[in-house]
Structure 1
Amino acid sequence: MTKQLSWKVGGQQGEGIESTGEIFSTALNRLGYYLYGYRHFSSRIKGGHTNNKIRVSTTEVRAVSDDLDILVAFDQETIDLNFHELRDGGVVIADAKFNPTIPESDTVTLYSVPFTEIATELGTSLMKNMVAVGASSAVLHMDISAFQEVVQEIFGRKGQQVVDKNVEAMKKGAEYIAEQLGEGLETMHLEPADGKKRMFMIGNDAIALGALAGGARFMPAYPITPASEIMEYLIKKLPEFGGTVIQTEDEIAACTMAIGANYAGVRSLTASAGPGLSLMMESIGLAGITEQPVVIVDTQRGGPSTGLPTKQEQSDLMAMIYGTHGEIPKIVMAPSTVEEAFYDTIEAFNLAEEYQCPVILLTDLQLSLGKQTVEPLDYHKVDIRRGKLQVNPDLPELENKAYYKRYEVTADGVSPRVIPGTKNGIHHVTGVEHDETGKPSEGAQNRNDQMDKRLRKIENIQFPTPVYKNAKHDEADLLLVGFNSTRGVIDEAMARLEKDGLKVNHAHIRLLHPFPTNELLPLVKAAKKVVVVENNATGQLANIMKMNVGHAEKMTNVLKYDGNPFLPHEVYSRSKELF
């Protein structure tokens, strides 16, 4: 028996690869296993190689595995592209239709199963993915009943006959493999899971759910990979809570509509990827100077331009911090797990209203689209804070037709705020520099006063966990640093390095701007060497660290920008080279 293994299904996009992985992983999740999945897919609707790699474990996992135990192949290309990942003792389960072959190997076994033929005999070749799920269950020594409930949910609306046919296809696939296996492959027999119920979701769904729980009731957005699932989730759910989603003509309209809704007192967000954020930059500046709260999600992908729209990268960091013209207060957050994506989205709305500024929730494709096990969310932790917004206020009457001081210069930099139309709350709102009432003003002293006021509001920002720390050493040989989805691979690499006798700490940056210098600096000082792990070509996080904490002589970059996420052994081996 084994406590952990990795399974991958691959084929041409559009032939059921995603649904195969969904059925397989959902069933295992319901049995109580921990899962971490990552989809490799092409930037076209149909055709092109795609695969779904799922790590299954009896204990928590937060990273893609280095190797592979089972490869389910719907075409020869899947074998050619993914065979190198298979460990000694690994298995290929392939559709007999394409006469599969594997490189000569004494350690990997090929099982040729007539997926298409069995499915066709049962009524349609489309059920070949169900035959593959059944074959996989047999290799894992799992009863087919574990998958039947999932099949019922997915196909139930099409009628019981369709459900029965798909279950029969799974059984046929399991029986075919079982006859070939005999009593073999005991190493693929998974130890029983704990049976506990946990969620299994992608980061985008967690963000959308967090927006809903955090009080958002309006989302204008333009579809773009890999952010669209946020919009798609809220299209279904927001109307149930009196909210709505509007698909705008472009990202410029999306951002300005979100700003307008927040101005009117409705919590609103928009979500996009790098190209969309580029279009929003002028609008983000508008939110900054008018001091309107707005939450914007940036799901990073491969760039520049269209770049690698369906691949992993972390290259928007500098743009999110410094992309706007002029200088405005801005908060940039970076969750590193699906749970954090949920809670951080709620916090993003709170911070946006408390500090009256744009808040960017920065994720990456691996976090946004990778599916992972999530412990039940605690809705008692949901706390709605609206800052200085005066809802239904009894404002004093203004004398001599004066205006409300919406942009009053205050000690903490945050001015009073009212919903437009509030009695005695009349004021100007404009994108040009203005005085305390919002009237345009180009006076030098006024300019200094308003700029200083806006910028000082985030000097003492209160953020629950600006840096995630896995740091048990007062003095360390090595400090590993990252942000977003690299947290899991860094923790695994850290464990391997510790086994080699090194003292290793891990810091994961969750508040990127304003930068948490005071939180990170002691860890940097306490380390002999610092390795910054990031999916970009120029070491953007490392450069920001050098600007804010110094100690550049200690820092080394571990970079990857080929469109693929880091694997644990890559971080481990490149860190080990330093010693």
Structure 2
Amino acid sequence: MINQLSWKVGGQQGEGIESTGEIFCIALNRLGYYLYGYRHFSSRIKGGHTNNKIRVSTTQNRSISDDLDILIAFDQETIDVNYEELHDNGIIIADSKFKPVPPDTKAVLVSIPFTEIAADLGTSLMKNMVAIGSTCAVLGMNIDVFSGVVNEIFGRKGEEIVKKNMAAIEAGYEHMKEALAGDVGKMMLEEADGKKRMFMIGNDAIALGAIAGGCRFMAAYPITPASEIMEYLIKKLPPLGGTVIQTEDEIAAATMAIGANYGGVRAITASAGPGLSLKMEAIGLSGITETPLVIVDTQRGGPSTGLPTKQEQSDLMAMIYGTHGEIPKIVMAPSTVEEAFYDTAEAFNLAEEYQCPVIILSDLQLSLGKQTVEPLDYGRVEIRRGKLQQQGTLPVLEGNEYYKRYEVTEDGISPRVVPGMFNGIHHVTGVEHDESGKPSESAVNRKSQMDKRMRKIKKISFKTPVYKNTPHLEPDLLIIGFISTRGGIEEAFGRLEADGVKVNHAHIRLLHPFPADEMFPLVQSAKKVVVIENNATGQLANILKMNVGQINKINSILKYDGNPFLPHEIYAQCKELFTDGDV
């Protein structure tokens, strides 16, 4: 028996590759297994190679596996592109329709007539179900575990369709059983704990976190890999009295969200790198008018259109410094699906408490990677609206006097009202203004308002700005990362410790304002520091050097080919730091 399995299905985009992985995962999730899935796909609707790699385990995992146990191939390209991941005891299960050519590997190739079996049962579209049945034979799984899933997915099409899909699974099982010469269960998984857990992508967690955090309006323009946030909220917000508007462009999306927040409604907008570039002027408007705004940036390969369906973490500097002029801003970086939920809910509190834009920085791997999630604790979510004034509590205005919406205060946070409040009239403008919002170019006023705005984010109340796994007071190595690199780092961490390297791990969750007080002692105590990130210029490492110093001991491990880090890549490159006998 094995305690974890790596399974991949591949073919041409539009062949049902995603649904094959989805059905396989849902059934195993319900048995209590932990799952992590990552989809490789092209930036087109149909055609081009795509694959879905699923890791199944009896324990939590947050990374793609290094190798591969089972490869389901619907075309020869899938074999040619992915066979090198297979270990020596791996299995390729290929559709005999394309006459599969064995690769140069010790892995076994088994040819099963997926398409022919499915066509005989009524439609070749069911070839993915035949593939699932073939997998069941290798795993020694009872095909009945799929009956509930098949019924849920195809039940609305009628009982006959459900029966045919189950028949396709059974036929795939029997063909594979015969090919294995009765050696069913060659890769049988250890029994899971049977507990109920969620299985979701990071974008869904972000959207759910927005709802839990009181968001009732979203304005957005579709863009990969952020669109699922809007798609989720389109379904869920209206029954809660909320609204989603698909705007004509990213500029309109950001300004609409600002308008909703100005009116007192918690609002969000989401995009990827190119869209964030278009939103920058509006983000500046949020900053100078001190209007709350929550923005999600799901990073992808750039620049320009770049690699729109591939992994990258190259927007960090742009999110911190991209706006013209200087404004207060908060940049958060959740590293797990659970954190994506809780951090998004908290982002609305921070936006209102500090009256500034809050950017939730995700990446494609976190946003679209699907993983097992422990039940969420909605009791942890609270609503805090900062200095938002209540009706009837405002001081009486005399004559032509205006409400001091931008009053200079010691903490830098001014009292806030929503339109229509009695005695709350004031100007709102994107030009520099005085305490009542009236335009002013006075040098004294300018300095006073700038100091006030920048003062309010000097101390951000964020519960866990840095996730720490720090068992050593004086480690040989401190590994630092952000967002989706956490899973790969955690696995490399264990392997390095087993080799006798004393390792600490810090994952930065609040990128701006930078948690220097938390990071400095961690960096100072380590002999060497390595920063893991998916970009070409070491943006996180540079931010670390700017805020912490210790430049000579900070190293970078970079990957920017569009693919996420694998655990062995982090492990091997960290080991290279000690080739001179330091440890």
Q: Is residue 2:471 matched to residue 1:479?
A: no
Amino acid in structure 2 at the alignment position of 1:511 = L
Q: How does 1:229-378 map to 2 (within 5 A)?
A: 229-378=228-377
Measured after TM superposition, the shift of residue 183 of structure 1 is 4.2
Contact in 1 for aligned 2:12/2:47 (Cα 8 Å): yes
Contact in 2 for aligned 1:2/1:187 (Cα 8 Å): no
Match of 1:21 in 2: 21
Give TM-score scaled by structure 1 length. 0.99
Q: How does 1:413-562 map to 2 (within 5 A)?
A: 413-562=412-561
Contact in 2 for aligned 1:6/1:53 (Cα 8 Å): yes
Contact in 2 for aligned 1:466/1:510 (Cα 8 Å): yes
Q: Is residue 2:97 matched to residue 1:97?
A: yes
Question: 2-side partners of 1:259 and 1:361: how far apart?
Answer: 16
Contact in 1 for aligned 2:79/2:103 (Cα 8 Å): no
Q: Is residue 2:81 matched to residue 1:76?
A: no
Question: 2-side partners of 1:562 and 1:459: how far apart?
Answer: 36
Amino acid in structure 2 at the alignment position of 1:22 = E
Question: 2-side partners of 1:11 and 1:261: how far apart?
Answer: 44
Aligned to 1:418, what secondary structure does the other structure show? coil
Count of aligned pairs: 578
Question: 2-side partners of 1:348 and 1:263: how far apart?
Answer: 16
Amino acid in structure 2 at the alignment position of 1:158 = K
Mean alpha-carbon deviation: is it higher for 177-186 or for 466-475?
A: 177-186
Amino acid in structure 2 at the alignment position of 1:445 = V
Aligned to 1:89, what secondary structure does the other structure show? strand
Deviations 1:452-499 (A, max 9, x none): 000010001100100000111000000000000000100100110001
Contact in 1 for aligned 2:311/2:363 (Cα 8 Å): yes
Contact in 2 for aligned 1:32/1:198 (Cα 8 Å): yes
Match of 2:87 in 1: 87
Match of 1:35 in 2: 35
Question: 2-side partners of 1:307 and 1:193: how far apart?
Answer: 41
Measured after TM superposition, the shift of residue 187 of structure 1 is 4.8
Contact in 2 for aligned 1:391/1:419 (Cα 8 Å): no
Give TM-score scaled by structure 2 length. 0.98
Q: Give the RMSD, CA atoms, in angstroms.
A: 0.8
Amino acid in structure 1 at the alignment position of 2:299 = Q
Question: 1-side partners of 2:483 and 2:474: how far apart?
Answer: 25
Match of 2:147 in 1: 148
Match of 1:49 in 2: 49
Question: 1-side partners of 2:389 and 2:130: how far apart?
Answer: 60
Question: 2-side partners of 1:40 and 1:519: how far apart?
Answer: 36
Ranges in structure 1 where 5+ consecutive residues have no aligned partner? none
Measured after TM superposition, the shift of residue 186 of structure 1 is 4.8
Question: 2-side partners of 1:542 and 1:249: how far apart?
Answer: 37
Question: 2-side partners of 1:300 and 1:103: how far apart?
Answer: 35
Question: 2-side partners of 1:185 and 1:49: how far apart?
Answer: 30
Ranges in structure 2 where 5+ consecutive residues have no aligned partner? 579-583
Question: 2-side partners of 1:283 and 1:77: how far apart?
Answer: 45
Match of 1:8 in 2: 8
| Change in CA separation of 1:391 and 1:182 when aligned onto 2, cut-off 3 Å | farther
Aligned to 1:155, what secondary structure does the other structure show? helix
Match of 2:161 in 1: 162
Contact in 1 for aligned 2:405/2:415 (Cα 8 Å): yes
Aligned to 1:262, what secondary structure does the other structure show? helix
Match of 2:387 in 1: 388
Question: 2-side partners of 1:569 and 1:249: how far apart?
Answer: 44
Aligned to 1:519, what secondary structure does the other structure show? helix
| Change in CA separation of 1:504 and 1:393 when aligned onto 2, cut-off 3 Å | farther
Question: 1-side partners of 2:206 and 2:390: how far apart?
Answer: 26
Aligned to 1:438, what secondary structure does the other structure show? coil
Measured after TM superposition, the shift of residue 184 of structure 1 is 2.7
| Change in CA separation of 1:342 and 1:393 when aligned onto 2, cut-off 3 Å | farther
Identity of aligned residues (%): 76
Contact in 2 for aligned 1:404/1:426 (Cα 8 Å): yes
